[in-house]
Amino acid sequence: MSAEAALRPLSAHRSPALKGRVRVPGDKSISHRSLMFGALAIGRTTITGLLEGGDIMSTAAAMRAFGANIHRGDDGTWTVDGVGVGGLLEPAGVIDFGNAGTGVRLCMGLAAAQPIAVTFTGDGSLIKRPMGRVLDPLRKMGVDVIARSGDRLPLTMRGAMTPIPIEYTVPVPSAQVKSAVLLAGLGTPGVTTVIEPVFTRDHTERMLAGFGAAIDIETAANGARTIRLEGRPDLKPQTITVPGDPSSAAFPIVAALIVPGSDVTVEGILMNPSRIGLIDTLLEMGADITIENARETGGEKIADLRVKHSALKGVTVPPERAPLMIDEYPVLAAAAAVAEGKTVMLGIEEMRVKESDRIAAVAAGLAANGVDHEEGRDWLSVTGGKVAGGGRVVTHLDHRIAMTFLVLGLVADAPVTVDDAGVIATSFPEFEPLMRGAGALFEDAEADAA
Ligand code: S3P
């Protein structure tokens, strides 16, 4: 997966009203965890609605390399025959996670509490991303690592022969770091404790409890959460229905809000409170979003969202909301580009270590398309108005940068071109047909002159 395919440029043109009912693919965070936890259970886990994007296929390949038997039925149902906690095999080859930061970081946790050697690598984006945030606590638990300088991929780790339970306060608001330590704790005798000062997505905690792990969560008055996990449980296989990914739904939602006359319903979206900061922000901006058919499945709230074109107003998004919408700031910038006034996004430094430096990539894309903005180390502001468009956006192997600027192009005076729509398949392979089906005008564009 690391050999990058040829770039596939795509342009978005000013489009007529978007209409219809759409269904986005399964949640990426829950999909990764379904395969991983299924691989650690004893018996057969069944998954429907799994995201079949590049990132998740990397995790499926990794879990097979660790000995799990994973199968996709003709009806799209996946089964995972797990090996049990402590039962992972040493992979015979290098584990290539492609573009998937969540995949590789959680997998490092999985492999940490067994005496096996594993070599991880990834694509041109993933090998630039920091792995020290996960490796630091894993080293405390007894893991040995040989990595490129700065703890970058490729790296080889040898899991601990006698893993040590730790109490770890997560220094950055990151569900990946929290999850890696908890997953290492699964294979560690005794109680592993993770303290997160700031609430981040809680799928690991919820799903481990569902798989039968003994996990206890205490929330302090200041919001800090102390998570205690009893090591070496027997995980029981589950039947999982993966809800629609709110981070993918964000693109048709913002598109419907900004394209005049639109009326789109996005069905079956995960409404977990740790994931819907964007919806709160858009409502504050004056968005016409109605929550319909709210229901619950597998312990998670889901709903359909009916979204109509709205006259948006700029707002200030407070820093404490960042963990609840960290992947949605790029597309919020597209909404802000047409809102009346200024939208200020504060406390977003984590955006700099995603699939690309997203503050820089968004700012460059806005600049190329005539949108007024300012950028700081940990903030971005966008002043709305007419979008000139006509710019070419460098996606830096980042799916969300590609989708953001294709959405912006739907309201721009001149088409907006992204240099590679191929990267979208990591999280949302159906993006193009789904958006075209609702009325979006996309057109293949000329490749850059070499
Ligand atoms: C994820 C956590 C977030 C998010 C990523 C998915 C997860 O990363 O950006 O897309 O599934 O745990 P961080 O934990 O690094 O913030």
Q: Say what the pLDDT of residue 268 is.
A: 98
Residue 276 in this model has a pLDDT that exceeds 50: yes
β-strand 372-376 against 392-393: which pairing, if any?
A: unpaired
In DSSP terms, which residues pair with 345 in a beta bridge? Answer: 317, 380
Which residue's CA is minimally distant from atom 5 of ligand 1?
102
Measured between alpha carbons, how far apart are the two ends of the chain, in Å? 23
Of 344, 443, 333, 340, give the one whose Cα is nearest residue 386. 340
User: What CA–CA distance (Å, rounded) separates 216 from 227?
Assistant: 6
Residue 28 assigned to a binding site: yes
Q: Are strands 239-241 and 44-48 parallel, antiparallel or unpaired?
A: parallel
Q: What is the DSSP secondary structure assignment for residue 321, as one 8-state letter? A: G
d(CA 352, CA 94): 27
Q: Can you tell me which residue has the tokens 């619950």?
A: 296
> Quick one: pLDDT band at residue 151, thresholds 50, 70, 90?
very high
- Verify cis geometry, omega within 30 degrees of 0, for the bond prior to 154: yes
Mean pLDDT over 148-166 rounds to 97
Q: Answer whether residue 436 shows pLDDT above 90.
A: yes
- Mean pLDDT, residues 295-322 taken together: 96
Ligand 1 pocket test target in 201, 355, 358 with most atoms within 8 Å of CB: 201
- Output the pLDDT for position 446: 86
Task: Output the residue whose Cα is nearest ligand 1's atom 11.
Answer: 29
Residue nearest atom 4 in ligand 1 by C-alpha distance: 327
Distance CA 295, CA 108 (A): 34
Reported as a single tens digit per residue, the pLDDT across 362-392 is: 999 999 999 999 999 999 999 999 999 999 9
**How many alpha carbons fall within 13 Å on the CB side of residue 97?**
25
What percent of the chain has a predicted confidence (pLDDT) above 70?
98
Report H helices in 41-98. Answer: 54-65
What letter represents residue 416's amino acid? V
Does 2 score more than 70 pLDDT?
Answer: no
> Measuring from each residue's beta carbon to the nearest atom of ligand 1, which residues come in under 6 Å?
29, 102, 174-176, 179, 201, 326-327, 350
Residue of 326, 329, 359 with the most ligand 1 atoms within 8 Å of its CB, for mutation: 326
Residue 449 has pLDDT above 80, yes or no: no
| Domains and their CATH numbers in the chain | 3-26+243-444 (3.65.10.10), 28-241 (3.65.10.10)
Angle between helical axes of 246-258 and 431-438 (0-180°, round to 10): 30
Question: Does residue 429 surpass a pLDDT of 60?
Answer: yes
- 310 CA → ligand 1 middle, Å: 30
Helix (H, G, I), strand (E, B) or coil at 51: coil
User: Which token pair is 85?
Assistant: 């906690």
Q: What is the pLDDT of residues 321-347, one digit of tens each?
A: 999 999 999 999 999 999 999 999 999
pLDDT single digits (tens) 207-222: 999 999 999 999 999 9
The rounded Å distance from CA 97 to ligand 1 centre is 15
Q: How far apart are CA 406 and CA 400, in angstroms?
A: 10
Ligand 1 atom, smallest distance to 327 CA:
9
**For residue 132, how many other CB atoms are within 10 A of its CB?**
12
What is the reported pTM?
0.98
Q: Which of 96, 123, 327, 420 is catalytic?
A: 327
- Ligand 1 centroid to Cα of residue 412, in Å, is 31
Which residue's CA is minimally distant from atom 15 of ligand 1? Answer: 174
Looking at ligand 1, which residue's alpha carbon is closest to its atom 13? 174
Q: How many angstroms separate the CA atoms of 4 and 54, rounded?
A: 13
**Does position 7 have pLDDT exceeding 80, yes or no?**
yes
pLDDT at site 18: 98
Catalytic residue at 327?
Answer: yes
